[in-house]
Amino acid sequence: MITTKVIKRPASKILALFVALFALSQTGCGPTYPKEILDKAIIQLCREEYNVEVKVKIIGSTIGVYIPLEGLFDATLNISRKAADKINDVMLSTSRVALSSDAPMNFYIVVAQDPLLPEIEVVLVRYIRDIKMLHYTQISRGEFSKRMMIDIKLTPQAQKEKVLRDIFGRLNIEEADDLIEEYLKTSEVTSIGDIGYWNDTFYMKDIYMGEFLALQTADRIKRKLATTPSLREDFKLNLIKGEFLEEGGKFFFRFSFNVSPLDQEALFINNEALDNVYDAILEEAALVLHGYKFNDFWNIEIVDVVSNQVLFATSDELEAHRKKKMKLEEFRRWYR
């Protein structure tokens, strides 16, 4: 779920650092915001302290905040410095309210759009307990930064509307606006990737830990494969996708990847390089799941979408690999 290619790394670091500094100074001493006025408190705080107008929608244990920002992107399609400051302000306000409320909130998600370009949105997801863990020095600032998910993507509902208009246009169907509006409003938001703001409607869902960790792990795997010299010299990463799935009453993670050789004359990536990809994914998945003490899963699957080769690891085997007690060659593999 997290694509950060067009985000300048300093901007994302600034976002994480400001939230961290705020958490350190505010946790435990801020005012109390009763759960009945949680949404109104965030709106009021953003307006009075930062002169920012937001819309808030709460579903389950997730707070959704929408912020319209003119000049969201600069000329290089990166988040502009001015917009980054405004997003920081909104995140700080949301953190302050969430940490000082009796409402049992687990996540907050911030969606930012430029009103002149609503077809593209910036999405940031934060697990609220991570802020507390930073405050109590249970995680480092570097780890805290990695745990926030940042994505720049096409607005899902805008893409659906575009497809529907094309279909209705070919079929010469009149009153397409009403049909499209009804379809979008009744469309279920089933994943974090479906969250978006379109035509004055906030499409939200309650975020669950498993899907959050699947997407965060995939994002961290992508960064690891792109920044580790011994890995990036052998191949190019085309795809990494994390999912938290259920089958037969058992939950499991699936990480699908696609890599291609840097050597354009080579048809396939060699086995050694492929093993390095599997090993890196195992290592990062074990690190994230252990860090969150998340044990609510049966196994993980790592799938090479080119060869359809699947590596299988139970939760116990994954932990054994983290402790260097189980080597890569000991894991089971098969072809679909």
Domain boundaries, the chain: 9-206, 211-335
Full DSSP string of 217-245 = HHHHHHHHHHH-HHHHTTEEEEEEEEEEE
Question: What's the rounded Cα separation, in Å, for the pair 31 and 149?
Answer: 27
Output the CA–CA distances (angstroms, integers) from residue 93 to 65, 146, 197, 204, 277, in the order listed: 11, 21, 20, 20, 40
CA 120 to chain CA centroid, nearest Å: 16
Mean pLDDT of the chain: 89
In the chain, DSSP finds a helix count (H) and a strand count (E) of 11, 12
- Given a cut of 50, whether residue 25 has pLDDT beyond it is no
Q: Of 220, 223, 191, whose CA–CA distance to 208 is shortest?
A: 191
Question: What's the rounded Cα separation, in Å, for the pair 315 and 317?
Answer: 5
Question: What's the rounded Cα separation, in Å, for the pair 259 and 82?
Answer: 36
Element (H, E) at 18: helix 9-26
CA dihedral for 207, 211, 217, 222, sign (positive or negative): negative
What phi and psi, each to the nearest 5 degrees, are found at residue 87? -65, -40
Q: pLDDT tier at 175 (50, 70, 90 boundaries)?
A: confident
Q: For the residues 309-315, what does the mean pLDDT come to?
A: 97
Full DSSP string of 85-121 = HHHHHHHHHHHHHHHTBSS---EEEEEEEETTEEEEE
Q: For the residues 45-57, what does the mean pLDDT come to?
A: 96
pLDDT digits 0-9 by tens, 246-305: 999 999 999 999 998 887 777 778 888 899 999 999 999 999 999 999 999 999 999 999
pLDDT in the model for residue 270: 84
Q: pLDDT tier at 51 (50, 70, 90 boundaries)?
A: very high
Query: Do 100 and 34 form a contact (C-beta atoms < 8 A)?
Result: no
pLDDT in the model for residue 7: 39
Element (H, E) at 56: strand 55-59
- Given a cut of 50, whether residue 190 has pLDDT beyond it is yes
pLDDT digits 0-9 by tens, 213-250: 999 999 999 999 988 888 888 888 999 999 999 999 99
Residue 132 CB: number of other CB atoms within 10 A? 15
Question: What's the rounded Cα separation, in Å, for the pair 211 and 15?
Answer: 23
Q: For the residues 121-128, what does the mean pLDDT come to?
A: 97
- Given a cut of 90, whether residue 11 has pLDDT beyond it is no
Query: Do 270 and 316 form a contact (C-beta atoms < 8 A)?
Result: no
Query: Do 182 and 201 form a contact (C-beta atoms < 8 A)?
Result: no
pTM for the model stands at: 0.86
> With helix as H, strand as E and coil as C, how does 134-195 read?
HHCCCCCHHHHHHCCEEEEEECHHHHHHHHHHHHHHHCCCCCHHHHHHHHHHHCCCCCHHHC
Q: Residue 79 carries which DSSP code?
A: B
Q: For the residues 77-82, what does the mean pLDDT come to?
A: 93
Query: Do 54 and 109 form a contact (C-beta atoms < 8 A)?
Result: no
Lowest mean pLDDT among 28-42, 142-156, 167-181: 28-42
Task: Provide the β-strand partners of residue 16.
Answer: none
Name which residue leads in pLDDT, 186 or 279: 279
Output the CA–CA distances (angstroms, integers) from residue 198 to 89, 150, 279, in the order listed: 23, 19, 40
CA 147 to chain CA centroid, nearest Å: 9
- Given a cut of 80, whether residue 17 has pLDDT beyond it is no
Question: What's the rounded Cα separation, in Å, for the pair 194 and 188?
Answer: 9
pLDDT in the model for residue 21: 47
